[in-house]
Structure 1
Amino acid sequence: MLITFKCKSYPEVLMYQEHAKRILDLLHKDVERGVITAEEAPRAVALLEGEIEESRKHQASDQVQRDVTAHAGDDEDKEHEPIEVVSFPTRAFPLLEMLRSARDQHTDVLWGV
């Protein structure tokens, strides 16, 4: 399921619910519907930036790499592009930019409405 984040000062941001959940859990927000007010935006930006920084400190484990390799089908169809893991910082960036805009322009971020 997709979540559409809306803000008057930034274009809409679409995220899969499973990816948005990590961010919304960090901010103690409901996945189904919610708001990050202009007053909450500075704290939300700081928390998300901290989580991004922390995730950059940890490399993908060997187990994750084995899973990617196993599902890639080493002996099958070598014509496809190699699988690239999308990192948390990459997934979070559009929403982080929206939160920065909300903070700077004093607007709210809404979803599920």
Structure 2
Amino acid sequence: MLITFRSKAAAEVVMYQEHAKRILELLNKDLHRGVITAAEAAHAVALLEHEVAESRKHAASEEVTRDVNAHHGEDGDDNDHEAAEMVTFATRAYPLLEMMRAAKSGGHDILWGV
């Protein structure tokens, strides 16, 4: 399921619900409908920037590494599959973080689920 974030400050940001969940839980917001007010935007930006910085400190988990290795031959070379490319939390959060920054500086709210 998709969530569309809207604000007068920026273009719409569309995210899969499972990816938006981590961000919205961090901000103590409802997954299905809510608002980040202009007054809350500065705090939301700070929280999300901190979470992005923390996520960059940690390498891919052992479980993910094991799963990737299981899909490749003994030599680590499998022509039937492309190399796995991880999409980091920082990459997924970036568009919404930029929207939050624009909302903060423009004094606009961010809405979803309405």
TM-score by length of 2: 0.91
What percent of counterpart residues are identical?
64
Q: CA deviation at 1:78?
A: 1.5
Instruction: Answer with 53-62 or 43-52: which moved more.
Output: 53-62
List 4+ stretches of structure 1 deviating above 2 A. none
- Counterpart CA distance in 1 for 2:99 and 2:14 is 11
Count of residues paired in the alignment: 111
Q: Does 1:74 align with 2:72?
A: yes
Instruction: Answer with 25-34 or 52-61: which moved more.
Output: 52-61
User: Structure 1: which 5+ residue stretches go unaligned?
Assistant: none
RMSD: 1.5
Residue in 2 that maps onto 1:94: 95
Residue in 2 that maps onto 1:24: 24
> Is the alpha carbon distance of 1:80 and 1:63 closer, same or farther for their aligned partners in structure 2, counting shifts above 3 Å?
closer
Q: CA deviation at 1:54?
A: 0.7
- Counterpart CA distance in 1 for 2:83 and 2:46 is 34
- Counterpart CA distance in 1 for 2:54 and 2:104 is 22
Residue in 2 that maps onto 1:103: 104
TM-score by length of 1: 0.92
